[in-house]
Amino acid sequence: MSESVYILGGGRTDFKRNLKKEGKTIRHIIIEAGKKAIDDAKIDPSEIQAGAVGNFNAGQFTKQLQLGAFIPEIDPKLRGIPTMHTEAACASGALSVLLGAEWIMGGFYDVVLVVGAEQQKTMSSLDGSDVLGAAADYHNEKPEYGDFMFPKLFGRIAQIYIEKYGATEADLARVAWKNYAHAKLNPLAQMRDADLTFDCASQVSDKNPSVAPPLKVSDCSQITDGAASVVLVSGKYLEKIGRDRSKTVRLLGYGHTTDYLPLDKKDAPTFSIARKAAENAFRMANLTPRDLQGAEVHDCFSITEIVAYEILGLAEPGKGVELVKSGATTLPQVRPEKSNVPFEIPVNAGGGLIGDGHPVGATGVRQVFEAYQQLTAQAGARQIENVRKFLTFNMGGSLTTSVAMVWGRH
């Protein structure tokens, strides 16, 4: 990378909120998260030279687009700066982070504000699922999968995985149980007050009905309203303001790939195109998966986290289930038994999409904010010990757009 990219500050909203009930809109959470990030960075808003907004489908969820125009409402000093909106389904937020990073790497700007936001609680779950269907190959896959396309698409991925590797529904439930347990340690997580036992997660019941076999309600991420934001800066800017590079979180490497849109044209459950994103990130960072102490991965459904372990090289093909069963990806704070794990890499310490929530356009930015909090020891009860290298993996569609980023500090 020609110019180094650092995170100077960040912020997010409480993902348990319902904006419609508050009489608020996506405008309000873009402003709220942006203000928090600028305050956390401890810089004057006039220092910010450009802005990026990650959002998936505000046009259909809220009838509002042109979201970059809310950036000047964060502070009048931002009026006039260039802004862009990025969209790649659930990877929209990561693309905004990447856009801001590439602006800095290319020498165009030294300080960029990135916001990811989504307001989804504006309609019925049936209508909302149809809006989410735009992240798939809507006109070809809707006739095949019908209503609630995404649970069915990922139910299909789970079926393919189970047929190939012999996993069980109880294996998937371990991911759901873990991420709900992690969410209880996160004061801003949507499911922080929910109790999910492993028995409940692993069995179909009135409380946990089947959605798209083998997936149950607990295997699914949440419908969420929320926003997250980070301030990205160049190394040159850090020196100018007298901040210590060694104590500031830096982007070490990234990879970004795009596969075919329909699921049946992809090589599930291997997802070789997504793997290229991870391989590129590790190559740029000159690191291996074993060099990581923590990760945020895209668990839109429980099967996705297991597949992500294998995509990222944390587990061999077909061995993702063994990794979650070993307890290696569970925080020691909630691990039920003091087992001898093969190596420790807590995954989705804040609860992931299943426990923390999934405001689609915000998720990629929220993952990066979590990386920043972990690497600066600001994660509270969910803090990973001695974390120096951290990975975020955000994907959109049925593993269509994949963005892997490796973060670290000295």
> Catalytic residue numbers?
90, 358
Q: Is the peptide bond before 72 cis (omega within 30 degrees of 0)?
A: no
Q: What is the spatial distance between Cα 404 and Cα 391, in angstroms, rounded to a whole number?
A: 7
CA 184, chain centre distance (Å)? 18
Side chain identity, residue 57: N
Query: Strand, helix or coil at 11?
Result: strand
Which residue is listed with tokens 């120096």?
Answer: 388
| R_g (Cα) of the chain, nearest Å | 20
Which DSSP state fits 385? T
Structure tokens at 196: 């999910």
Structure tokens at 360: 């689609």
Q: What is the spatial distance between Cα 335 and Cα 98, in angstroms, rounded to a whole number?
A: 34
Q: What is the spatial distance between Cα 407 and Cα 388, in angstroms, rounded to a whole number?
A: 8
Q: What is the spatial distance between Cα 154 and Cα 354, in angstroms, rounded to a whole number?
A: 14
- Which residues lie closer than 8 Å to 55 by C-beta, 6 or more apart? 26, 67, 85, 86, 87, 92, 116, 117, 118, 360, 361
Kindly compute the dihedral angle of the four CA atoms of residues 189, 399, 305, 309, in this order, to the nearest 10 degrees.
Answer: -130
Strand partners, 86: 54
Q: What is the spatial distance between Cα 283 and Cα 253, in angstroms, rounded to a whole number?
A: 7
Which DSSP state fits 222? P
Strand partners, 296: 392
Contact between 90 and 363 (Cβ < 8 Å)? yes
Structure tokens at 189: 């997580």
Q: Is 280 left (phi over 0), alpha (psi -120 to 50) or beta?
A: alpha
Which of 313, 308, 294, 273 lies closest to 393, judged by CA? 308
